[in-house]
Amino acid sequence: MRHEAKSKRESEGAAKAIRSGDRVSLARAITLVESAKPEDQAKAQALIEQLMPHTGGSIRVGISGVPGAGKSTLIDQLGLNLVAQGHKVAVLAVDPTSSRSGGSILGDKTRMGRLATEPSAFIRPSPAGDSLGGVTKTTRETIALAEAAGYDVVLVETVGVGQSEISVANMVDIFVVVAIPGAGDELQGIKRGLLELAEIIAVNKADGDNIERANRAAMEYRTALHILAAGHSNWEPQVLTLSARDNTELDTLWQKVKDRHAALASSGLLNQRRSDQAAAWMREIFEQRLLAAFKGGKRAARHWKELEDKVRSGEMTPAAAAQELGRLAGIKDAR
């Protein structure tokens, strides 16, 4: 009883500090939600429950794109512009984790060096680990914590590989794809699925000798999106050219984000989207905990390793192994 009272006081103290804008408390809270320790998870959930009534007040923007598109430069300059306008900006940058060494290059504060020095900006690099699509399992919680701390703009940068685009689209309000001008083959380097998720496509590096190529790339994107949009009602993605390096047209980009956000809010689609995302968040947490609980048992852990080895050696198909795991979990006729 005494321990519970102490935990409650600590949680209330942390929540108060976060709401007051204390950056150290916010960083500690994010570290807490990223921890895999059961005791830390319990503390994190208690803290988030206290802060939930104070979340939801930001414009959540996902930013993705092919490697080399200049996402970090764009976020750095856009963030500076927004801070100058009086916004508080949080950047959640998910780093790729090496599949061989398990290491993660947490270099976001170097890549966004100018923004990192701003008192009204908060940059949080998070290793993606083995999370599907390069988005951390706790990114949604981190967004909530940042909003509770008073950040009214949350930018989520993804690694731009695998399923990261789908993952981040399921936790933001607006999805921006950063593209670059090429030699007539722009569409070859960008997946159709990524185009279908995009609400805004920003062709970056429209500067110097690249301006003509950037305009041509933008025209090709508009043509492709017009074809794709034929089967999608209420979907009219915007395309623009800009230069993050020269800070040109970034204000136009932000205006398009605000216009889209306002349209979603006035139509009721924003609330619907966030409600759907909350339900998906619940399912995701449950699936993670179910898997963790199953693998946590000694018998299950032993069988998991045995079956995994059989799949690796070709003795067993993945489907048959999954069915056997389902049987061990008590699922009848598991497929």
Both 195 and 260 in a single domain?
Answer: yes
Q: Is 211 within the bounds of a domain?
A: yes
- Evaluate whether residue 144 is within a structural domain: yes
Q: Do 250 and 127 belong together in one domain?
A: yes
| Same domain membership, residue 209 and residue 240 | yes
Total number of domains constituting the chain: 2
Instruction: Indicate if 113 and 243 belong to the same structural domain.
Output: yes
Range of the domain at 140: 56-266
Do 218 and 115 share a structural domain?
Answer: yes
Residues 134 and 15 in one domain: no
The reply to whether 34 and 167 lie within a common domain is no
Domain end marker among 54, 70, 96: 54
Computed from CA positions of residues 25, 28, 34, 40, in that sequence, does the dihedral angle turn out positive or negative?
negative
pLDDT tens by residue, 223-269: 888 887 766 666 778 999 999 999 999 999 999 999 999 999 999 99
Whether residue 201 is contained in a domain is answered as yes
Q: Which of 266, 298, 321 is the last residue of a domain?
A: 266
Here the CATH number for the domain that contains residue 31 is 1.20.5.170
Residue 132 shares a structural domain with residue 105: yes
pTM exceeds 0.75, yes or no:
yes
Give the mean model confidence (pLDDT) for residues 262-291. Answer: 87
10-57 pLDDT tens trace: 888 999 999 999 999 999 999 998 887 888 888 988 899 999 999 999
Tell me, yes or no, whether 37 lies in a domain.
Answer: yes
Same-domain pairing of 12 and 92: no
Q: How far is CA 335 from the centre of its chain?
A: 31
Is residue 300's pLDDT more than 80? no
Rounded to whole angstroms, the Cα distance separating 172 from 277 reads 9
Q: Which of 208, 239, 195 is nearest to 64 (CA)?
A: 195
Sign of torsion over alpha carbons 240, 243, 248, 253: positive
Instruction: Clarify whether residues 116 and 44 are in a common domain.
Output: no
Count of CB atoms within 10 A of residue 203's CB?
Answer: 29
Asked whether the CA dihedral 246, 249, 255, 256 is positive or negative, the reply is negative
Do 33 and 172 have their domain in common? no
Does 287 reside within a domain? no
Q: What gap in Å lies between CA 149 and CA 47, rounded to an integer?
A: 13
CA neighbor of 186 nearest in space, from 70, 72, 69 = 69
Residue 274 lies in a domain: no
Domain end call among 266, 295, 311: 266
Q: How far apart are CA 335 and CA 329, in angstroms?
A: 12
Examine the domain organization and report whether 20 and 32 are in the same domain: yes
Assigned domain for 285 exists: no
Band of residue 204 on the pLDDT scale cut at 50, 70, 90: very high
Q: Phi first, then psi: what are they for 99, rounded to 5°? A: -75, -15
